[in-house]
Structure 1
């Protein structure tokens, strides 16, 4: 090494940030952090505090301790049906819509004819909001002018798909799954494209059939995608609001926790403290599912 090169190497060291660099980093990192605190964590912490109070949004705030939670669990009839409906959302999306999206992704990944057309068509509902999906569900499942009753020919005694409390939750779940399936399909398609083909070839040479290759080779490599899909499914199930509110304001068999929060906070009662207690319960349940799932996946990743 020449003397000049040695001097240059000596001059090189840890680069020190200038005042301009610090300002740029502060702006680029500080603004998103401040927005996150103001929009997400600020209201979250405020809801937790308000859940222990009685407040109508105008008058003074009165501390009531755990009274809101006691009334919620023991003296609020819509609560437990809403919990049951949210669990039904989770089970339907997790056990039916998600596996169906995975199946569609596997079929399209094999290169069937018109795969681009199928992919675009199945993904199209994802660009729609759940409120729009709710309006579409009304057009399909309406009692008097719905497409389904017209196809079935039920003119004399039409089925009230959205008015019957024993049926409407399943119709809404089908509509929500229609949107959720396309989302899951795209995620798994991206994961399948990243699978090393040599792994499948090696398994095939060892005598494994297609089913064994998928469950023993392909599916384990999709662990990161499984984590994302699992978290998204839980969040979609527990934050369900738009579609049920668009159909019948979340009543008559479509009660979910998010609707109860809205009815109590911005409804005629204006029970902000009580509505905040419902929101905290929904937050705790959501975080419980997500954190448990992520911890299990991280432990599984470390044990590999």
Structure 2
């Protein structure tokens, strides 16, 4: 075995040390700074004042948009987990069977993933706009005497329209991940299940899907992250207001808004961090228990 030279150690140190340094500075340092600032009152210009848990007290007792944003983020997570993720899995299963034009379908379904959520937000405006939207035109509600639906202006409707667009993008991402997982499954497992008399449905749910547990964990974590970091699409539509309030929007409005409240915005960011970590840890623990069984 060749012994490492000084040059080898230097190269390894740079390759490992620089990414670690960037991670510590850009992720962990800023995270700890946000936690510290959440206990202060600071407008970004004057002196930093220690206020203890006052920001958290105001957040939970005297800030109505917070409860609405929590509800919307959890609704976002539920929609992606219950609707968009299974839809992406269905697409992957169908395309894995090598149907005709599968390459075309795969590209078409994956196309929204290439676009940013901000672009998806602009597309949403083109589709759901009250006066010139494609959906109202398709329903014949754009001419004189018609009653067009305000899909993205009505606070009771717009969250569902945005979820449809976000789910459209998320399902393509999930499809690609599950396609890769399906390609890695040993074909002999399927053949053994078929010999034992298992149907295609039984083979998938009892043999193939459990084997893809690592992919399931990745998809679960990505789903949580996508749901809780959502920002671009609602900000592109109406700045995250009038029924589209999210935690990320409240953080932005309080930190870089007209009345900068960096300490209060940091408190919201800490709550979002705790929710994210809690959901991911709970999901991973559940998957690990199932794997041990």
33-42 vs 68-77, which moves further: 33-42
Name 2:281's counterpart in structure 1. Answer: 291
**Matching of residue 28 in structure 1 with residue 15 in structure 2:** yes
In the alignment, the residues of structure 2 paired with residue 219 and residue 32 of structure 1 have an alpha-carbon distance, to the nearest angstrom, of: 34
1:65 to 52, 67, 82: 52
* Aligned-residue offset at 1:146: 0.3
**Matching of residue 162 in structure 1 with residue 141 in structure 2:** no
1:89 to 53, 69, 76: 76
In the alignment, the residues of structure 1 paired with residue 39 and residue 3 of structure 2 have an alpha-carbon distance, to the nearest angstrom, of: 49
2:185 to 187, 192, 195: 195
Can you list the C-alpha shifts for 1:123-173, whole angstroms capped at 9, x where unaligned?
A: 011000000000000000000000000000012110000000000000000
Map 1:1-304 onto structure 2 (within 5 A): 15-155=2-142, 156-301=146-291, 303-304=292-293
Gaps of 5+ in 1: 1-13
Q: Structure 1-normalised TM-score?
A: 0.93
Can you list the C-alpha shifts for 1:242-261, whole angstroms capped at 9, x where unaligned?
A: 00000000000000000000
Q: Structure 2-normalised TM-score?
A: 0.97
Larger radius of gyration: 1
* Aligned-residue offset at 1:76: 0.3
In the alignment, the residues of structure 2 paired with residue 20 and residue 189 of structure 1 have an alpha-carbon distance, to the nearest angstrom, of: 41
In the alignment, the residues of structure 1 paired with residue 199 and residue 5 of structure 2 have an alpha-carbon distance, to the nearest angstrom, of: 60
Gaps of 5+ in 2: none
Instruction: Give the aligned CA root-mean-square deviation in angstroms.
Output: 1.0
